[in-house]
Amino acid sequence: MDAYDTGSGARQGPGGREHPAGPGGGGTGDGTGGAFGSPEGAAGPGAVRGASGETAEPPPASGPADPRSPSETAEPPPVSGPAEPGPVRDAAESGPSAGTAESASGTGPATAATAEQVKPVEPVEPVELPTGVAALSPRYQVGALVALAVVAVAVCAHLGSVFLHVAPSNTLTKQHGAAVDEWVFPEFEQNWKLFAPNPLQQNISVQVRAEVSTADGEIRTTGWYDLSAEDGRAIDGNPVPSHTQQNELRRAWDFFVATHDSDDRAVGLRGTLSESYLRRIAVLRLERNDAAGPGGVVERVQYRSRTTNVEPPSWSGEKVSDRPTVRELPWWTVSGSGDPREGAA
């Protein structure tokens, strides 16, 4: 409450106006009750004694009281601006107790305003990073595309050559047959024996023997070494036999038969190449079997094949000869180092 309210019992100055408190506080208009000279001053600086002798607390203003009338000292209207939430409280109600209750309720003006301003955060969608070739820099992308193009062209060329090799005779094979054969033989040769109506039904055993120059200068001839049987023993019971044991000798003999006539004469350069291939295989196999002996040298080698028909099943009614067919080749001269020499003995 205002200390200058007429209902407060405070003394008034001459003329009915309230006498302002002096700097020392507690002084009255009639000169009685000063700050130091009267008992009323014992209440402390600025204390005001009422009509009943009780001391009233001064107003909370830090400076001297304004001698103007209450109407003149009325507070001006608040400046227009954002309205404070909640009802307006006077000085008595805005004490510590009101602040404590407001804090306890948790719905103070600042908290309410903050709650209104907070908005839910929208979820951020994950960004998918590029992978594979797209993750490379442009320079490496160009290099990868060039490499893929080269590989694609090489694969297409290889498949086309193999197709022309197994395809029936046509214009392309007549014009480019030599180039196709150079690419396909011998690594990529194809045949239709597995899928033919009448597949291969023969057992072919390839054998070799040698003329050896011994350490004392004599010449002796070894017995026949069954090279096909050696490969069969190496393959039998082996879950992962080598490609050499399975195909080296068999493919070399097929190569020779396909490039020679019935009189064992080579047909073209490929026939001569097949003879050199068989010579080298013979020397390597004979050295593995120690056919020359200590100090001996293999001078010549001779091949022969023994072909036997596979007996047909009893329900087929087919009749075949069970007599083996032997094909014996001429002697081929070789050097001591195993390199083939031209000509035959």
Stretch 94-102: mean pLDDT, rounded? 45
Per-residue confidence band for 136, with pLDDT thresholds at 50, 70 and 90: confident
**Alpha carbons 316 and 244: distance in angstroms, whole number:** 35
Place of tokens 């003999």: 253
pLDDT > 90 in the chain, percent: 28
Checking if the pLDDT of 330 tops 60, the result is yes
- Cis status of the peptide bond prior to 312, with omega within 30 of 0: no
Q: What is the pLDDT of residues 7-54, one digit of tens each?
A: 445 455 554 454 444 444 444 444 444 444 444 444 444 444 444 444
Residue 197 has pLDDT above 90, yes or no: no
Q: Are 33 and 55 in contact (CB under 8 A)?
A: no
The pLDDT value recorded for residue 122 is 78
Residue 243's SS3 state is helix
pLDDT at position 275? 93
Mean pLDDT score of the chain: 73
Matching residue, tokens 């106006």 = 17
Q: Which helix (H) or strand (E) holds 204?
A: strand 202-213
Residue found by looking up tokens 């026939």 in the block? 271
Tell me how far apart the terminal alpha carbons of the chain are, to the nearest angstrom.
144
Dihedral pair phi/psi, residue 344, rounded to 5°: -130, 150
How many other β-carbons are positioned within 10 Å of the β-carbon of residue 2?
14
Q: What is the mean pLDDT of residues 288-309?
A: 91
Sign of the alpha-carbon torsion through 315, 317, 319, 320? negative
Residue 207 in this model has a pLDDT that exceeds 90: yes
